[in-house]
Amino acid sequence: MTLLTPLQELRSEAARQGMLVAVACALVAFLLIAWNERRKVIATRLAAREALQEANNELERKIAERTADLRASNERLKAQIRERRLAEDTLRRAQDELVQAGKLAAIGQMSTSIAHELNQPLAALRTLSGNTIRFIERGALDTASTNLKTINELVDRMGRITASLRAFARRGDDKGQASLRKAVDAALQVLNGRLENFDLTLHEHFEDVALRIDQTRLEQILVNLVGNALDAMQAQPLPELWLEGEIADGRYRLYVRDNGHGIGPEARKHLFEPFFTTKPGEHGLGLGLTLSASLAAAAGGSLSAEHPSSGGTAFILSLPLLDTPAPPEAEPI
Ligand code: ADP
């Protein structure tokens, strides 16, 4: 027996269920796609974060490297500064020693003229004092008193000579101030023994300015320059020395010019080198110009030479004037 039932209902049921399954499948597929996309997004974000972290680490490493480099170069710089300071100190000490040695050598060289300088008044003192005793014994008190005054003046003069020599030998320092007039007078006084044998015409055209240099050091420079000029004019029948000054750029320029034998082109190259001398035997030490230039430089000035076409030599001593502000001290690091 065959039971025939209509399939309509079954087919529509099957179609409904088929639809439901299809929708469910589509939903699952959609969810899978969405999950996959999200996974990708998360993976990308993670990769980006890792890349960022990596870049950050790299940056930090580089910064650390640079900082270490900077620190190292800073240390090197500090060490170099320390070394330079040490070298400067050593140089300054050596320079001071050289200055002192040069001064003592100059005094040694001058000893003959010093002895001459002091012997003359000593001989005069001996005669004068002997005479004075006799005048007093005879009751000629007026003449005795005149003699005593002369004795007084002679003793004063000897005192001045030894004082200027003591000042020359004393150690000076880079600071301090000097009167140009006093320095020139003291230098001429030191060289007096030599000047006596010279028929020198001295032209002085400078002002009595206050200079930023130790008085003794300025005197020493002038003794060197004038002493050299006298040496150069030994064979000159009409020796002339010009001391001329001018103000330029807050400095005072003193020209010490002579009409001596001048300086040849070869010697000009070595003038300021230590121990360069053209003077024969014991006469030249070759330290005068070196020391003078270093004394001038230590005071913030300079010493240079010019060779006038008319002959002779001119040394230009340039020194800061006292009323110009001192150069700033180096900042401590
Ligand atoms: P020193 O006087 O002991 O030789 P310096 O350093 O003072 O040493 O001088 C070096 C040289 O410079 C001298 O030997 C001389 O040849 C030359 N000189 C310096 N001043 C003059 C001058 N005014 N005229 C000619 N030559 C000079």
Residue 329 lies in a domain: no
Residues 195 and 316 in one domain: yes
Q: Report which protein residue has its CA nearest ligand 1's atom 8.
A: 286
Which of 259, 191, 192 lies closest to 220, judged by CA?
191
To 5 degrees, how large is the angle CA 250–CA 256–CA 257?
A: 130
74 domain residue, yes or no: yes
CA angle in degrees (0–180, nearest 5) for 68-71-76? 125
The pocket around ligand 1, CB under 6 angstroms, is made up of 224, 228-229, 232, 258, 260, 262-263, 267, 271, 276-279, 284-290, 313
Which domain does 208 fall in, by range?
175-324
If asked whether residues 153 and 242 sit together in one domain, one would say: no
Lowest mean pLDDT among 68-82, 117-131, 156-170: 156-170
Provide the 8-state DSSP code for 281. Answer: G
192 shares its domain with 305: yes
Q: Does the structure show a pLDDT above 70 at 332?
A: no
User: What's the burial of 220, exposed, middle or buried (CB within 10 Å: 0-12/13-18/19+)?
Assistant: buried
The strand pair at 210-211 and 302-306 is best described as: unpaired
Query: Given a cut of 70, is residue 57 above it in pLDDT?
Result: yes
Confidence class for position 171, pLDDT limits 50, 70, 90: low
Q: CATH number of the domain that 188 lies in?
A: 3.30.565.10
Residue 202 burial (CB < 10 Å; 0-12/13-18/19+)? middle
Asked if 319 and 212 count as a contact pair (C-beta separation under 8 A), the reply is yes
Whole-angstrom distance, CA of residue 186 vs CA of residue 171: 16
92 part of a folded domain: yes
Distance CA 83, CA 78 (A): 8
Question: For residue 291, what pLDDT is reported?
Answer: 77
Contact predicate 193/110, CB 8 Å: yes
- Please give the Cα distance from 68 to 72 (Å, whole number): 6
Of 82-86, 90-94, 185-189, 254-258, where does the model show the most confidence?
254-258
CA 14 vs CA 26, 86, 330: distances in Å = 18, 106, 103
In whole numbers, what is the pLDDT of the chain averaged over residues? 87
Atom of ligand 1 nearest to the CA of 271: 12
The DSSP letter of residue 173 is: -
Taking the centre of ligand 1 as the mean of its atom positions, its distance from the CA of residue 206, in whole angstroms, is 23
Ligand 1, residues 228, 242, 279, 292: which to mutate, most atoms within 8 A of Cβ? 228
Q: Is the pLDDT of residue 175 over 90?
A: no
In-domain check, residue 13 = no
The domain boundary residue, chosen from 121, 152, 170: 170
Q: Is the pLDDT of residue 314 over 90?
A: yes
Work out the widest C-alpha separation in the chain, in whole angstroms: 199
Helical spans, DSSP H, in the chain: 8-138, 141-169, 180-190, 192-196, 215-232, 265-268, 288-298
Secondary structure element (H or E) that encloses residue 315, with its range: strand 313-320
Confidence of residue 329 (pLDDT cuts 50, 70, 90): very low
Residue ID of nearest Cα to ligand 1 atom 14:
277
Q: How confident is the model at residue 165 (pLDDT cuts 50, 70, 90)?
A: low
Whether the Cβ atoms of residue 286 and residue 272 lie closer than 8 Å to each other: no
Name which residue sits closest to atom 13 of ligand 1, judged by CA. Answer: 277
Predicted structure pTM score: 0.56
Whether 215 and 226 map to the same domain: the answer is yes
In the reported structure, the alpha carbon of residue 279 is separated from the centroid of ligand 1 by a whole-number distance in angstroms of 8
pLDDT score for 109: 63
Q: Specify the residue for token string 């005072």.
A: 252
> Does 146 lie in the same domain as 78?
no
Ligand 1 atom showing the smallest separation from residue 224 Cα: 7
pLDDT(115) > 80: no
Q: Is the pLDDT of residue 2 over 60?
A: yes
Asked if 215 contacts 297 with a C-beta cutoff of 8 angstroms, the reply is: no
Q: Looking at the structure, tell me whether residues 105 and 115 fall in a common domain.
A: no
pLDDT at 325 over 60: no
Does residue 304 share a domain with residue 219?
A: yes
Q: Which one of 64, 84, 109 terminates a domain? A: 109
- Ligand 1 centre and the CA of 42: distance in Å? 90
Of residues 318 and 105, more confidently modeled: 318
Domain count, the chain: 3
- Tell whether 299 and 182 lie within a shared domain: yes
Is 50 exceeded by the pLDDT of residue 54?
Answer: yes
- Is the pLDDT at 170 greater than 60? The verdict is yes
In 139-173, which residue ranges form alpha helices assigned H by DSSP?
141-169
Per-residue buried b or exposed e for 270-307, using 16+ beta carbons within 10 Å of the residue's own CB: ebeeeeebbeeeeebbbbbbbbbbbbbebbbbebebee
Q: In what order do the strands lie in the sheet with 251-258?
A: 201-205, 240-248, 251-258, 313-320, 302-306
pLDDT digits (tens, 9 = 90+) for 128-161: 999 999 999 999 999 999 999 999 988 987 887 7
**Last residue within a domain, chosen from 61, 89, 109:** 109
Q: Is 8 left (phi over 0), alpha (psi -120 to 50) or beta?
A: alpha
Name which residue leads in pLDDT, 324 or 323.
323
pLDDT at 287 over 80: no
Task: Decide if 11 is inside a domain.
Answer: no
- CA separation, residue 130 to residues 31, 47, 73, 136, 263 (Å): 140, 118, 80, 10, 51
Ligand 1 centroid from CA 106, angstroms = 14
Distance from the alpha carbon of residue 287 to the mean position of ligand 1, in angstroms = 9
In a shared domain, residues 254 and 285: yes
